[in-house]
Structure 1
Amino acid sequence: MISADHPFFLAHEQAHIMLKHELKRKMLFTVIISASLAFAKILNFSVFFILLSPILSLWLSSPLWLWWMRKQELSADRLATQLTSKTSAKHSLNMLKNRNFSLFSTHPTKNQRLFAIFYKF
Structure 2
Amino acid sequence: MPDEAQKILLKGWEEDRDAFNCLNNYFANISDVKKLDQQIRELYGKTPSEKKIIYLEALKHEFKKDPKLRSTTRNIAYEIIAEKVATRSEIVNELKHFNPEDEVILKDISRYKMGRNIMFRN
Q: Which protein is bigger by CA-based radius of gyration?
A: 1
More relative contact order, 1 or 2 (CA 8 Å, 6+ apart): 1
Going by fraction, where is helix more abundant, 1 or 2?
Answer: 2
Task: Sort the TM-score into its range (normalised by shorter chain).
Answer: under 0.3
TM-score, scaled relative to structure 2: 0.25
